[in-house]
Amino acid sequence: MANTPQARKRIRRNERRAEINGARLSRIRTFVKKVESAIAGGDKSAAAEALKAAQPELARGVARGVLHKNTASRKLSRLTKAVSGL
């Protein structure tokens, strides 16, 4: 159990941040899934639009520290390649 006031504060803060970061990550996953479903459906224009929407979300995740920059770069690269291959 946390005994110091600072440790108690850190626990409260970590709980709040975990909730926010979880929501942020879920939002990013949703955007990525929209692109993947458009690719699976074979709709190039919808996939391109979804990719255009997902790109800033991935970048925002990196800026907020939710995703590693290489992870976001890899996901974006693979999605772009898949969309251009339609």
Q: Which CATH superfamily is domain 5-85 in?
A: Ribosomal protein S20 (1.20.58.110)
What pLDDT is attached to residue 10? 95
Output the pTM of the full model.
0.84
What pLDDT is attached to residue 86? 86
> pLDDT tens across 26-85, in order?
999 999 999 999 999 998 999 999 999 999 999 999 999 999 999 999 999 999 999 998
Measured between alpha carbons, how far is 3 from 80 in angstroms, rounded to an integer? Answer: 50
The pLDDT of residue 2 is above 90: no
Sign of CA dihedral 32, 35, 41, 42: negative
What pLDDT is attached to residue 58? 96
Task: Report domain extents, the chain.
Answer: 5-85
| Short-list 26, 37, 18, CA closest to 61 | 26
Q: Where in 1-86 does DSSP place strands (E)?
A: none
